[in-house]
Structure 1
Amino acid sequence: MPEQDLDPCPYIDHALLDPQAHPQEVERLCAEADRFGFASVCVYPCHVQLARDYLLKSQVAVGTVIGFPSGASTSNVKLYEAMEAVENGAMELDVVINFGWLKSGQTNLLHQDIAQICQESGVPVKAILELSKLSPEEQALAAEICMDAGVSFLKTGTGWAGGATVEMVKFLKEFSRGRVGVKASGGIKTREQAIALINAGATRIGTSQGATIAKSR
């Protein structure tokens, strides 16, 4: 599809991950997502119920983050956080992997950490890989473990350690070979950036600038 004809709105996960966000901002986020036809909103777990109530009659999904941003919570805590979020209305979970386990070769623990959330939550899981902090070998290993664990998406990063790049998206698309979706997240502020990442293979765009991108058409 030619770049000028591509509408990024259906790809956007409209994010509000400011720890100081208040309910009025969450409601505004939801209103924007509904207005522009975004794929989802992504909020902290404490705001899931509010977002769900606001979007109850909308096609916009409610997503949240688990173990964010470090991924270093215990597996039991992550699982509890995930299950509570689903109970409160979360339809998608962006889960940060445990990077310490990855880098120390504790791959069984890493696999179990993600697999139990995939199996018990019953909703799509997006594994946050923080590619900018991993070697090429670690990137491939993390992606393979997460796909084997049952994730629905591989996500470039939290956005707290650098932005998504076309190269990151191309790697995840090529490595996954269509087995899962690819989410680009971090530093995506313009329509041109979003379209470039989608053309590179991203099936979701995580950004706090969704409304700006939508209005720039």
Structure 2
Amino acid sequence: MVITAADVNIADYIDHSLLNPLATTKDVELCCNQAIDCGFPAVCVYPVHVKKAVSILHTQKIKVATVIGFPTGATTPHVKLHEAQEATNYGAGELDVVINLGWLKSGKFDWIHKEIASICEETGIPVKAILETTCLTDEEKKVAAEICLDAGVSFLKTSTGWFGGATVEDVALLHRISKGRVGVKASGGIKDLESAIALINAGATRLGTSRGVEIVRQQKDNVR
């Protein structure tokens, strides 16, 4: 069955993202207040903004997600784990962790598994593994996804948005691999309602975008 804009509340899918390195405290406040107004399930901010976001949203059901090893994934396991633990201590409810792409392409699969598993185990909160699918072959996508699934992640996420964004094909592939065991987060380049609905039809259960307010507005206009 094909999902249309009339079939879903698009706000329920959106991680309202503020990952501009130039973002100010006022930008964080606006992001959080927009999430409250629109009813988004989560905001996604840099670790440095987690405390502020939590202070605004602690009475809401909205989770504060943050990014770990972002955007390259090329920091050491110790640094990633410390970053994840610190964010968790500050109140983060979800972690979007960039896998080490160099290790993947070097065949260091056990290293990736150990790194991701340690973050999942030590923090105890949902982890979304960012695979950076635009940089991978289909076989590498499958291998990376299976490693992360076995390591205990709660979501497979397509992209950081720094090297291209989510595609319908990649979301469909991750959906097939996950077989409903975990969520699939599409992220990067989601700018309008049409692309959001296409990704949901492909299997996305969460959408990471900075355009959430505009997309919600488009849905309201569309169903009038």
**Normalising TM by the smaller chain, what interval?**
over 0.9
Say yes or no: does 1:133 pair with 2:132: no
Cα deviation per residue 1:179-217 (whole Å; 9 max; x = unaligned)? Answer: 110000000010111111111110000001011111112
Find 2:20's aligned residue among 9, 18, 21.
18
Could you tell me which of 183, 189, 200 is aligned with 1:198?
A: 200
Tell me which amino acid in the other structure corresponds to 2:4: E
Q: Secondary structure at the match of 1:89?
A: coil
Paired residue for 2:186, among 184, 187, 207? Answer: 184
Aligned residue in 2 for 1:81: 83
Query: Once the 2 structures are TM-superposed, how far is the Cα of residue 2 of structure 1 from its aligned partner?
Result: 3.7
The amino acid of 1:214's aligned partner reads: V
CA RMSD of aligned residues (A): 0.8
C-alpha displacement of 1:177: 0.6
CA–CA separation in structure 2 for the residues paired with 1:27 and 1:41: 11
| Cα-to-partner distance string for 1:31-59 (whole Å, 9 max, x where unaligned) | 00011011100000000000000001111
The answer (yes or no) to whether the contact 2:66–2:96 under 8 Å persists in 1 is yes
TM-score by length of 2: 0.95
Aligned to 1:118: 120
Where do 5+ consecutive residues of structure 2 fail to align?
220-224
Query: Normalization by structure 1: what TM-score?
Result: 0.98
CA distance in 2, matches of 1:33, 1:185: 17
Mapped to 1, the partners of 2:31 and 2:193 lie a distance apart of 18
Deviations 1:86-108 (A, max 9, x none): 00010000000001111101111
2:71 — aligned with what?
69
Distance 1:215 1:89 in 2: 30
Output the CA distance in 1 between the equivalents of 2:153 and 2:19.
22
Question: How many equivalent pairs are there?
Answer: 217
**Aligned ranges 1:24-103 → 2 under 5 Å:** 24-103=26-105
Identity of aligned residues (%): 59
C-alpha distance in structure 2 between counterparts of 1:56 and 1:136, whole Å: 40
> Where has structure 1 moved over 6 Å in runs of 4 or more?
none
